Amino acid sequence: MAQSYSLFLGCIMPNRYPAIESTTRFVLDKLGIEIKEMERAGCCPAPGVFRSFNKPDWMVAAARNLAIAEANGADLLTVCNGCFGTLFEVNHALKNDEELKKDVNARLADLGYHVEANQEVKHIAQVLGFDIGPYGIRDYLKRKVRLRGAIHYGCHFLRPFHLKQIDDPEDPTILEDYFEALGVELIDYRRKHACCGAGGGVRAGHIEVSLEMLGEKMAAITEVGAEAILDICPFCHLQFDTGQKSLNEKFGTNFNVPVIHISQLTAFAMGLDDIGLEYQTIAPDFKLEAVEL
């Protein structure tokens, strides 16, 4: 049986960076993975803001999304670190706590849902980087890319480590191995594994602090001469893309580094020319350079 996933859209991907959605669909289709739509799904809800306001309500809303994926009969796939953080954590909590599951289901019943927590929650970077892997992906590539790239992992893909257990959060290699297989020349930079500054409701509540954190990263990325930032999360994507513009306006800096999501770069290497960079705020005229195999 062909592999299938319930694709969880979330908020920022469909509503700000639809090109990430279209390239994700393109990549999954090329890999022969069937997508099951998650009708009626909503916000994950975001682990920074909504979990902070009311954790029990946050769990119920997340469990509702999990229930929609379960009704599809296919594991849930997210494309975003934030959604991954929320849905993975709630799924894990429900799996390991029968009492909690009973309480959550009691509240879900009023909304017309029931959750079993018998499925997995996966991140696209896990599917590409581990399940397919840097060797497996070669079979699907039409071309490689010539690019000096700076990787940004984001926080909730690897942390907290004792829950996620995907890769060492202090010195991971999963994305390095994968992007290298696509032809990217990787460059390290200072504070590579630091937060982009968007999470935790800081971007919403304290934009100046959020931009200062971003500015430090951007200075380091510019210093090493990266041609693009490679990320795996639409929220980091938004922070890098619109944040550079805000930094330039506020502090007179001159940051201009395009940001590319793992789905976009993979789609390009699989032969898709239009990966939607022209819709982005920063460097809309940036063109990826292909290397024939």
Partner 1 sequence: MSVFKNPPCVLDSGKRDPTIEETLKAAGFDPNLCIQCGTCTASCPSGRWTAMRTREVMRKAAFSIEVVLSDPDIWLCTTCYQCYDRCPRDLQVTDAIIALRNLASARGFISDKHRKTVDLLHKTGHAVPINDRIRKIRKELGLPELPPTVYCYPEELEKLGKTLFQLPPRPEDHDEEEER
Establish if 172 lies at the interface with partner 1 (CB under 8 A): no
Rounded to whole angstroms, the Cα distance separating 36 from 49 reads: 28
Closest approach, Cβ 256 to partner 1, in A, equals 21
Are 31 and 2 in contact by the 8 Å Cβ rule? The answer is no
Beta pairing, strands 143-146 & 289-292: antiparallel
Establish if 216 lies at the interface with partner 1 (CB under 8 A): yes
Closest approach, Cβ 213 to partner 1, in A, equals 5
DSSP 231: E
Closest to partner 1 by CB, 157 vs 179, is 157
- 270 to 289, contacts with partner 1 by CB under 8 A? 276, 279
DSSP 131: I
Closest to partner 1 by CB, 89 vs 227, is 89
Q: Nearest 5°: phi and psi at 86?
A: -65, -55
Are 63 and 100 in contact by the 8 Å Cβ rule? The answer is no
Q: 281 in helix, strand or coil?
A: coil
- 175 to 204, contacts with partner 1 by CB under 8 A? 194-195, 197-202, 204
Establish if 173 lies at the interface with partner 1 (CB under 8 A): no
Closest approach, Cβ 161 to partner 1, in A, equals 5
Looking at 43-51, 174-182, 220-228, 259-267, which segment touches partner 1 (CB under 8 A)? 43-51
Closest approach, Cβ 227 to partner 1, in A, equals 24
Closest approach, Cβ 176 to partner 1, in A, equals 20
| C-alpha dihedral sign at 95, 120, 59, 48 | positive
Q: Which residues are CB-contacts of 109 (< 8 A; sequence separation ≥ 6)?
A: none
Q: Which residues are CB-contacts of 248 (< 8 A; sequence separation ≥ 6)?
A: 254, 255
* Contacts with partner 1, residue ranges (CB under 8 A): 9, 11-12, 14-16, 18-19, 21-22, 25, 37, 39-43, 45-55, 57, 60-61, 64, 85, 107, 110-111, 155-156, 159-161, 169-170, 194-195, 197-202, 204-206, 208-210, 212-213, 216, 276, 279
